[in-house]
Amino acid sequence: MRIHPLIRICTALIFLAVFCGGCIHTYPKGEPEDPSLITLTLSLNLGINFSNSSDGATEKVQMPRGIYQFRVLVLQNGRTIADEENFIRYDGDDSKPILLPISTPLQERNYHILVWSHLVDSENRNPLHYDVADLSSISVISYWESIYATSAQLAFPICLRGEADFSLGSATPSPTSHDYTLPVSCSSPAALLRVEATDAERFISVFPTVTVNPGVFSIEISFTTPAPDAFNLLTGSPARYSSGWHTDTPLLLPDPSAFKVIEIPLFPDSSGEELTADITVYNSARSIISRTRDISFTLKPNHTTVVRGPFLSNFFQSPLHVENEWEGEIVIEYDEE
């Protein structure tokens, strides 16, 4: 009788399993884990120091709560290894760092890490203050046009930049560890120009509608020197200087104590830059209500420059020039004559 070949094969396998101590192994699907790859997590310190005190001290700024966009670049010899984006809700607790995992596994080589972060809309996650479509030319968007609709989210136009150089090969805690946490300190590359009016009460007494209607009057800051309105994340320096740069903002004074009428973020060089601008107040017919010319001030990253004076009811004023030493907040008093 002829035995079927399949029966012969099955009989041989059973014999080997029983009499030769054979066993059957199963292997996981997919590629085996590469022992040379490392998973990196960034530990970001968001409690930035932003000089905004008049006594020369540096204070810790409380960042607004909300959803923050994080862009992370991992570079090696100038080549981008990873470009990742994350959205993280910040609850206002800066006592603990934000942990930001990098999803791209890295080999044990030298890397350069760059981080950018800013506040986004909590519903649609659109940027509120900065356009980051091109990380080599991050610019300020015209968010002031909608400031009265979402003023709670636009209270402080903060942005952060972090940078770190390290070698994963030497930094790995042990040869068997494949996870590493890298601390990264962040600071703001932006300088804030704040204009405060000391004559708000006088202006309200003449034009009371300004307390409830932001469309009746507007305030314009027009720079007569080129303004650094874009930032290069890769180099950490200004990306562009725009001539004739200006911002036109609806003027709203809820009460006579409302000194701050506008706040503008710009990106000066790290050593500080002196700029000159005119401040003009218009009515809805674009007639000039007040104009102050040739105001000189200095901007520096991570600092607030305050220009204070009677800008709302000033029909003529001589040029103003102020020299500043960089200690704390820079307050430029513009006295009424």
The pLDDT tens digits for 42-64 are 988 765 555 544 444 455 556 77
pTM of the model: 0.73
Same domain, 80 and 152: yes
Q: Quick one: pLDDT at residue 310?
A: 86
Instruction: Pick out the chain residues at pLDDT < 70.
Output: 1-36, 46-62, 142-156, 168-177, 214, 254-258, 315-337
Same domain, 170 and 265: no
Alpha carbon 313 to its chain centroid, in Å, reads 35
Asked, for residue 2, whether it belongs to a domain, the answer is no
Asked, for residue 16, whether it belongs to a domain, the answer is no
How many folded domains does the chain comprise?
2
- In whole angstroms, give the CA distance from residue 280 to residue 265: 19
Asked, for residue 4, whether it belongs to a domain, the answer is no
Of 138, 165, 187, the last residue of a domain is: 187
Asked, for residue 274, whether it belongs to a domain, the answer is yes
Same domain, 238 and 319: yes
Q: Quick one: pLDDT at residue 11?
A: 63
Same domain, 268 and 308: yes
Q: Which domain holds residue 198?
A: 191-333
Q: Quick one: pLDDT at residue 201?
A: 84
Same domain, 91 and 228: no
Same domain, 197 and 89: no
Alpha helices in 109-177 (DSSP H): 168-171
Same domain, 178 and 55: yes
Of 152, 187, 222, the last residue of a domain is: 187
Same domain, 120 and 214: no
H/E segment holding residue 143: none
Asked, for residue 203, whether it belongs to a domain, the answer is yes
Q: Quick one: pLDDT at residue 78?
A: 86
Q: Quick one: pLDDT at residue 228?
A: 94
Asked, for residue 69, whether it belongs to a domain, the answer is yes
Of 187, 206, 229, the last residue of a domain is: 187
N-term to C-term CA, the chain: 124
Asked, for residue 214, whether it belongs to a domain, the answer is yes
The domain that contains 43 carries what CATH number? 2.60.40
Asked, for residue 121, whether it belongs to a domain, the answer is yes
Residues 6 or more apart whose Cβ sits within 8 Å of residue 178: 35, 37, 38, 39
Same domain, 99 and 227: no
Q: Quick one: pLDDT at residue 112?
A: 92
Same domain, 122 and 154: yes
Same domain, 255 and 278: yes
Same domain, 90 and 136: yes
